[in-house]
Structure 1
Amino acid sequence: MTLIRVAGVPVRFRASWFLISAAIVALFGPQVQRIFPELGALAYLVALGYAVLLMVSVLAHELAHALAARSFGWPTTEIELNLWGGHTEFLAHRATPAKSLAVSLAGPAANLVIAGLGFYLSGALELTGVTAMLVQVTVLVNFFVGIFNLLPGLPLDGGRIVESAVWAATGNQDRGMRAAGWAGRVVVVLLLAGLAAVVISGAREVSLVVVVVTVMVSFFLWQGASETVRVANARLGRAR
């Protein structure tokens, strides 16, 4: 359903977004209670703040994509927030490798700017208590979202780096898509291999939540990368 419009762009919230928000409240509510026992049940309201901050961070990411696309005259049809974060739909006219790359990198850039501002304010204002914790959460969430999305493989934004490089070198966007899709598969393999190495070595304790989330995200990324490869191969086959 569409609940709001931002900069003239409709923002659609899928039911899965509310499910992940509820999971965040259930997961982090007890954690906040342990840190601030004086809050009592209000700790769950603070945990709801976590979910709201995540929503704002993802929305800022997607809005940056939309505004960058608009700067090239590409109309944005909608922003969708869902279980896996968000997605921006826009119509790219006369796309080039440079324009495609600029639109894709605008999202991570927005998150890193927010993280930087939050880090600066947390030191400059000497915040304490719940406020300090929420600012720290904002910094960490935006830093993670920004850096993670820069990994060089589709469907992550950083995959456009690979796509644009191959596209510019070959003059064929579909070849760039296929290369970026395969790069996305490599990212998934490295992500799971890294997780397995940490768990097996026992060098540091890894919570079950981290393992489950990593596996779920890897599954989503593999699906996206594989679909990219399939579409690119189909287009290249028709062009022969």
Structure 2
Amino acid sequence: MTRRRGGSAARIRILGIPLRLRASWLIVAAAIVMIFGPQVDRIFDLGIAAYAVALAYAGLLLVSVLAHELAHALSARAFGWPPTEIELNLWGGHTEFLAGDSTPTKSLAVSLAGPAANLVIAGVGWWLIETFTPVGVLGMLASVTVLMNFLVGVFNLLPGLPLDGGRLVESTVWAATGSRLRGALAAGWAGRVVVAGLVLAAVWLLIADGGGTNLVVVVVAAMVSFVLWQGASDTVAAARAGLRRERGEGRGR
């Protein structure tokens, strides 16, 4: 994966893998506190402490994204592809690794490991809630952990790059045509379709909600859609360029 530079970051190691936490993550934390702090206060009447609970929401999301990226890194390592860095940032995170002999199956397995980790956490969390029935703030945080991991897992399974589910499209076309570039091109276009669907869903939500949807939610949704569209478009452009080079080399022989 492509390394993103710029911005300050804290860097540590976890399971031997460098972990970079970008300062931009604070924007995510601030947005979560702004959205959920007042809601927690209305439910539990905690006053200023409600914002500390909302900050715990942000911490749980950070852990969920970290679990997702670690699953990518460890599955890559299992295939002999050394992970070089995990980065957590404004947009969630990404994992870099040195891929050797890649195949459609290996590429898909590494990509789906992330969403699978989140869905496993959601399932285990749901079982713990059903078994121990936590209440109050603890019960809310447990439910939020389950919900966040479920949403992160399902969202990343959407079938279009740069989301993990896009590798399913890429690997299917790659296996059928023998060309990873054609697979990437198809997955990039699928990513554009996914973004268009997300935008339509957001517009429908705004209309159905009568304009009552939180402005922060709208802004975050717009930013995420923009980043996904940019990632999908970059994939399409790179795949087209690669296919043009292949055709040029073929004519030159």
Give TM class, smaller chain.
Answer: over 0.9
Question: Which runs of 5 or more structure 1 residues have no equivalent in the other structure?
Answer: none
Displaced runs of 4 or more, over 6 A: none
- Does the alignment pair 1:139 with 2:137? no
Q: Distance in 2 between matches of 1:28 and 1:142?
A: 17
- Does the alignment pair 1:223 with 2:230? yes
Aligned to 2:30: 22
TM-score, normalised via structure 2 length: 0.90
Residues 202 and 17 from structure 1, CA distance in 2 versus in 1: closer, same or farther, beyond 3 angstroms?
closer
The secondary structure found in structure 1 opposite 2:185 is helix
Task: Give the CA deviation at 1:57.
Answer: 0.1
Q: 7, 20, 30: which one pairs with 2:15?
A: 7
Question: Letter of the aligned partner of 1:31 in structure 2?
Answer: Q
- Which residues of 2 match residues 207-222 of structure 1 at below 5 A? 207-222=214-229
Question: Letter of the aligned partner of 2:41 in structure 1?
Answer: Q
Q: Distance in 1 between matches of 2:131 and 2:70?
A: 28
1:78-123 CA distance string (max 9 Å, x none): 0000001000001110000000000000000000000111111111
Aligned to 1:44: 51
The secondary structure found in structure 2 opposite 1:110 is helix
Is the CA contact (8 Å cut-off) linking 2:31 and 2:216 kept in structure 1?
no
Residues 19 and 211 from structure 1, CA distance in 2 versus in 1: closer, same or farther, beyond 3 angstroms?
closer
Residues 206 and 26 from structure 1, CA distance in 2 versus in 1: closer, same or farther, beyond 3 angstroms?
closer
Q: Distance in 2 between matches of 1:205 and 1:43?
A: 22
Task: Give the CA deviation at 1:192.
Answer: 1.1
Higher mean alpha-carbon deviation, 22-31 vs 82-91, is at 22-31
TM-score, normalised via structure 1 length: 0.95
- Which residues of 2 match residues 112-191 of structure 1 at below 5 A? 112-191=119-198
Q: 39, 44, 64: which one pairs with 1:31?
A: 39
Q: 238, 243, 246: which one pairs with 1:236?
A: 243
Task: Give the CA deviation at 1:2.
Answer: 3.6
Is the CA contact (8 Å cut-off) linking 2:35 and 2:216 kept in structure 1?
no
Question: Letter of the aligned partner of 1:10 in structure 2?
Answer: P
Is the CA contact (8 Å cut-off) linking 1:10 and 1:78 kept in structure 2?
yes
Q: Distance in 1 between matches of 2:57 and 2:96?
A: 26
The secondary structure found in structure 2 opposite 1:148 is helix
Q: 56, 65, 70: which one pairs with 1:58?
A: 65
